[in-house]
Amino acid sequence: MKLHCVSLWLLGTILMLCSVDNHGLRRCLISTDMHHIEESFQEIKRAIQAKDTFPNVTILSTLETLQIIKPLDVCCVTKNLLAFYVDRVFKDHQEPNPKILRKISSIANSFLYMQKTLRQCQEQRQCHCRQEATNVTRVIHDNYDQLEVRSAAIKSLGELDIFLAWIAKNHEVTSSA
């Protein structure tokens, strides 16, 4: 009887911790204006994706097939992918068109804000990077490195809608919209 109680108690505690952790993470990005970022991207999506010279290859493919990114890994994967875009993709892409440049700048600066918000939450809660999350990130970086820098950057920009949809789903930031 005692063992039964103890195991139930442990299970309950774990579940509670998980839900608290996830709920807290959702609150982390709740003040981000995801709708605006999605709108900005929609306006340039066609132009960006038209410049993609390798349509049969994807860089973020792991996100689509990986609905299997577990809730515990969401924080780490979000952090890593934001850094991927801010540190690599936006930097590697040179945009000559001022209209598109304006939208990309808007998205890049919004990502910077999201990184800051996520960092604040991290200070309060653990944002551990488990092996699975690190693997996902590494695969994406490897995919990126396999292409020539400019093509890789343009392709990654074109796949922003995948990333934005994934964020919205995992962080429930559009729940109030």
Partner 1 sequence: MQTFTMVLEEIWTSLFMWFFYALIPCLLTDEVAILPAPQNLSVLSTNMKHLLMWSPVIVPGETVYYSVEYQGEYESLYASHIWIPSSWCSLTEGPECDVTDDITATVPYNLRVRATLGSQTSAWSILKHPFNRNSTILTPPGMEITKDGFHLVIELDDLGPQFEFLVAYWRREPGAEEHVKMVRSGGIPVHLETMEPGAAYCVKAQAFVKAIGRYSAFSQTECVEVQGEAIPLVLALFAFVGFMLILVVVPLFVWKMGRLLQYSCCPVVVLPDTLKITNSPQKLISCRREEVDACATAVMSPEELLRAWIS
Choosing from 1, 67, 98, 124, the residue that interacts with partner 1 (CB under 8 A) is 98
100 binds partner 1 (CB under 8 A): no
Q: Quickly list DSSP for 99-161.
A: HHHHHHHHHHHHHHHHHHHHHHHHHHS-----HHHHHHHHHHHHHHHHS-HHHHHHHHHHTHH
CA–CA separation, 7 vs 68, rounded Å? 27
Q: Kindly state the smallest distance separating residue 162's Cβ from partner 1, in Å.
A: 21
Choosing from 25, 38, 40, 158, the residue that interacts with partner 1 (CB under 8 A) is 40
Q: Kindly state the smallest distance separating residue 94's Cβ from partner 1, in Å.
A: 9
Q: Which of 106, 129, 116 is CA-nearest to residue 40?
A: 106
Q: Which is nearer to partner 1, 19 or 120 (CB)?
A: 120
Positions in the binding site for partner 1 (CB under 8 A): 30-33, 36, 40, 86, 90-91, 98, 101-102, 105-106, 108-113, 116, 176
